[in-house]
Amino acid sequence: MAKYTININDENQEVEASEKTHLLWIVREQLGLMGTKYSCGIGACGACTVHIDGKSTRSCITPITAVIDGQKITTIEGLSSDSSHPVQKAWVEAQVPQCGYCQSGQIMHAAGLLNQNPSPSKEEIVKYMSANLCRCGTYMRIAKAVEMAAGTDS
C-alpha cells in the first residue's frame, strides 16, 4: 500500500492503495462518489466512465498509478455543480433513463465526445456512444440527447 495524491473534481485528495488498485474503487470506496458504477469490471460496458483530462476513460481498468501525475479526474458528481452541463440538461429533456444504472457512464461518455468534437454527426454520435452498453435499450434517446446537447438536432 502507498499514499497517492490525486486531483478529482478540482480537489486534491490523499488516498491509499496498492499500485494495482483501479480508479473505480478509489472513487467509490475511498471517496464515496457512488455515481460512478461498477458493472462488468473488464472495460466492456462503460458504466464506470469518468474523465481524465476531459477524455472519457473506463475507471474499472485504469490503475491508480496512471492518474498520479496531476491529471484532472472528473466524475459525474463533478461534471457541473448543479446538473447544468448541456448533456445533463438534454438528458432530462429527452427523458433518456429507464432503470438508470448505466446513465452516469453514458452522460460522461457523451460529454467526453463533445469535448473532442462539439458538433458530431448523427453517425459519429451513434458510433461513439455504441461503446457504452444499456440493458434497457435507451440508445435512440441517448443519440437524440447528444444531438440536443450539441445543438445539431432538428
Binding site for ligand FES (CB under 6 A): 38-41, 43-48, 58, 60, 97-103, 134-136, 138
DSSP category for residue 71: P
Smallest distance, ligand FES to C-beta of residue 87, A: 15
Looking up cell 434497457, which residue turns up?
A: 136
Smallest distance, ligand FES to C-beta of residue 45, A: 3
Smallest distance, ligand FES to C-beta of residue 154, A: 25
Cβ nearer to ligand FES, comparing 9 with 49: 49
Cβ nearer to ligand FES, comparing 96 with 118: 96
State the distance between the two ends of the chain, measured CA to CA, in whole angstroms.
53
Cβ nearer to ligand FES, comparing 34 with 40: 40
Cβ nearer to ligand FES, comparing 133 with 148: 133
Residue 25, phi-psi category: left (phi > 0), alpha (psi -120 to 50), beta (remainder): alpha
Q: Could you tell me if 110 and 87 are in contact, meaning their C-beta atoms sit under 8 angstroms apart? A: yes
Smallest distance, ligand FES to C-beta of residue 119, A: 25
